[in-house]
Amino acid sequence: MAGYLAITGGVGGAKLSLGLAHVLGPDEVVFAVNTGDDFEHLGLSISPDIDTLTYTLAGLANPKEGWGRQDETWSFMETLTSLGGETWFRLGDRDLALHAYRTDALGSGRSLTEVTADIAARLGVAHRILPMSDEPVRTTIQTASGPLAFQHYFVRDRCAPEVTGFEFSGAATARLNPAITELLPSLNGIIICPSNPFVSVDPLLAIGDARRRLSALDVPVVAISPIVGGAAIKGPTAKMMAELAIPSTAAAVAAHYGDLLDGFVLDEQDGDLHGTLDVPTVVTRTVMVSLADRIALARVTLDFLDSLR
């Protein structure tokens, strides 16, 4: 393969990933997905970012939420509520089947990479979706009131606690997915999707020597800013930056990635930053509402990447 690697988290990253999958064939782009959000819940192994991307590429994602399935039913959740069970993490009946299938497969010794590929194939996804690692890396959010497992912070507590830092348990000793490592020498470029830098992209960069390996490649790395006009399109990125005393700006995101980046994609609303950063930038519409928006951003990003080679 001579193509691209896209590093992505959940909803925001999946939007651009869908655009990339429309522009590039299965041999031209591979998705490396955050598993720091993965967790065990009610006996099930749940991989929220992998599933969001899988559903998105399969055309099965709930168009309103961006996560979960479009044709979902909720009998399980209704009954769990009546039993007084833990209902803070919403699990649809169809979504549950995927978690049960994965839990069963992992229990029988298959790797997350194998199970993810199997599920994607079953749902008709032709592109490769690769977990960042087959070993567990778990994101903990450090808050003013103590550490929280990622999903407790993100879903149960709705990102309300004040963030003071992050920990990626297992990252130091985990191995970057060998299927990703194998691809590196043949890449033309790396795209960091407009995902949360702290909790969707940093977990991958924290794995072993992943960041150094990516930096050392002789191909450009381009990120798309998840911060537009000082706010996050979705999720707690801007709130986290404020709590960490980092300006909630696209410039601060670029600075956070630092020398890993060879280029940075700014939204039109941040056009005034063009030419002011330490890294080459391109300005385009990054707010993706329609499929056309996703495809357009994918094209601009790829053209920009190619211009940097």
Among 1, 62, 93, 169, binds a second copy (CB under 8 A): 93
Site of tokens 């399935």:
69
Kindly state whether residue 94 participates in binding a second copy, applying the rule CB under 8 A. yes
Kindly state whether residue 76 participates in binding a second copy, applying the rule CB under 8 A. yes
Least distance (Å) between residue 83 CB and a second copy:
5
Q: Are 129 and 120 in contact (CB under 8 A)?
A: yes
Site for a second copy in 234-293 (CB under 8 A): none
Q: Are 207 and 174 in contact (CB under 8 A)?
A: yes
Kindly tell me which of 88 and 209 has the beta carbon lying closer to a second copy: 88
Q: Are 211 and 241 in contact (CB under 8 A)?
A: no
What string marks each residue from 112 to 151 as x (binds a second copy by CB under 8 A) or -?
------xx--xx----------------------------
Least distance (Å) between residue 74 CB and a second copy:
8
Could you count the other beta carbons within 10 Å of the beta carbon of residue 145? 10
Among 59, 79, 145, 173, binds a second copy (CB under 8 A): 79
Least distance (Å) between residue 108 CB and a second copy:
10
Kindly state whether residue 184 participates in binding a second copy, applying the rule CB under 8 A. no
Kindly tell me which of 1 and 44 has the beta carbon lying closer to a second copy: 44
Site of tokens 């690769």:
130
Q: What is the rounded CA–CA span in Å between residue 299 and residue 143?
A: 39
Kindly state whether residue 77 participates in binding a second copy, applying the rule CB under 8 A. yes
Least distance (Å) between residue 39 CB and a second copy:
13
Among 63, 64, 84, 216, binds a second copy (CB under 8 A): 84
Q: Residue 235: CB partners within 8 Å, gap ≥ 6?
A: 11, 12, 159, 196, 226
Among 2, 43, 146, 275, binds a second copy (CB under 8 A): 43
Q: According to DSSP H, which parts of the chain are helical?
A: 11-23, 48-58, 75-83, 93-107, 112-122, 150-151, 178-183, 202-205, 210-216, 237-243, 250-257, 291-307
Kindly tell me which of 44 and 252 has the beta carbon lying closer to a second copy: 44
Q: Are 240 and 227 in contact (CB under 8 A)?
A: no
Token digits of residue 15 = 């939007």
Binding site for a second copy (CB under 8 A): 41-45, 72-73, 75-80, 82-86, 92-94, 96-98, 100-101, 103-104, 107, 118-119, 122-123
